[in-house]
Structure 1
Amino acid sequence: MYQSILVPIDIVEKELTKKVLPHVTYLAQLSNANVKFFHVLPVASAIVNAYSFGFDEFKDKATLQAEQWLIELIDHIDLPKENLSYAVAFGNPRDEILSIANELKPDLIILGSRRPNISTHLLGSNAAAVVRYAKTPVLVIR
């Protein structure tokens, strides 16, 4: 059924990730699918301005922390470790998720979404944008 599943997660949203994992595990077990977890570190202008002289050092530390968290997450998932991988990127979460989805061409994208609030109604959520623009089926977990 699914050979490849992309799972964009926000490492800050641990409760949301906990809700997503059972769905990922279940669907991946059905067909022994490969699962790639993907985290995007947003580049806000305030962060860039604050760390403009040491941005590469900041970027390296942030990437390392995200990778350590993803490795720990993968260690606790009941799937064959050879079927699990991860990636980290810097940028706009929506754009980076769509970019890696276009590159990997997974059979399914599974991502979590919080309940909409006023800012998501005004600006739109990352999950809504992925659903709208992805060329792959998307399963949104709340």
Structure 2
Amino acid sequence: MFKSILVPIDLADTALARRAIETAATLARTYDGKVRLLHVISITPVVLAEYVPADFDDQQRGDAEVALAEVARESGIEPERLSTAVRQGGIYHEIIEEVGAIKADLIVMSSHRPAMRSYFLGSNAGHVVRYAPCSVLVVRDDK
């Protein structure tokens, strides 16, 4: 049923992603599928570009790849079922692009409980749910 599962992760809050990773691992084992952990790096705003080192984007990507590899090691998912990717751009746009790239049939993502500002501004999870070409499972934190 779910052969290719995408799990977007915010490396600034890996604790929030834990339940999504556990859920994806269980589904992958159940359906003999694979899991892709994805982190999206935001684009450096132009107004800040002159204040950061020339290789800032490369440093960010390298740091993200190392951190994501650590999350993967700690995930408990068998290495043959697991891959990672780091993309740069708009968060929900890059998640949707990755779905197409790996032909994902499920996205499992974490989300905080909605606050009033989410209803007006929207959230990345909300955008993904609305525009994803595949099923989306949003795992809430316990708080």
- TM-score (ref. length: structure 1): 0.90
Q: Return structure 1 stretches of 4+ with deviation > 4 angstroms.
A: 53-56
2:31 aligned partner, one-letter code:
S
Residues 1:110 and 2:113 are matched in the alignment: no
Which one of 128, 132, 140 corresponds to residue 134 of structure 1? Answer: 132
**Is the CA contact (8 Å cut-off) linking 2:42 and 2:88 kept in structure 1?**
yes
Contact 2:28-2:81 at 8 Å conserved across structures: no
Query: What is the percent sequence identity of the aligned residues?
Result: 36
Amino acid at match of 2:34: N
Where structure 1 has 5 or more consecutive residues not aligned to the other structure, the ranges are none
- Aligned Cα RMSD in Å? 1.6
Q: Aligned residue for 2:68?
A: 70
Shift of 1:54: 5.1
Deviation at 1:79, TM superposition (A): 2.3
What is the rounded CA distance, in whole Å, between the counterparts of 2:117 and 2:55 in structure 1? 32
Asked if 1 retains the 8 angstrom alpha-carbon contact of 2:22 and 2:75, the reply is no
5+ residue gaps, structure 2, are: none
How big is the shift at 1:119? Answer: 2.7
Deviation at 1:99, TM superposition (A): 1.3
Q: Is the 8 A contact 2:25 2:35 kept in 1?
A: no
Give the secondary-structure state (helix, strand or coil) at the position aligned to 2:65. Answer: helix
Q: Using a 3 Å threshold, how does the CA distance of structure 1 residues 56 and 109 change in structure 2: closer, same or farther?
A: farther
- 1:18 Cα deviation (Å)? 1.6
> Per-residue deviation at 1:91?
0.9
Q: Which moved more, 1:86-95 or 1:101-110?
A: 101-110
Whole-angstrom CA distance in 2 between matches of 1:66 and 1:100: 16
Q: Following the alignment from structure 1 to structure 2, what is the Cα–Cα distance between the partners of residues 58 and 74?
A: 24
Q: Displacement of 1:53 after TM fit?
A: 6.7
The number of equivalent residue pairs is: 140
Shift of 1:83: 1.6
Q: TM-score when scaled to structure 2?
A: 0.89
What residue number does 2:12 align with? 12
Which of 92, 95, 99 aligns to 1:94? It is 92
- The Cα shift of 1:64 comes to 0.8
Assess if the C-alpha contact under 8 Å between 2:7 and 2:21 holds in 1.
no
- 2: distance between equivalents of 1:102 and 1:55? 33
CA distance in 2, matches of 1:43, 1:76: 28
Deviations 1:51-83 (A, max 9, x none): 337565111111111111111111122222022
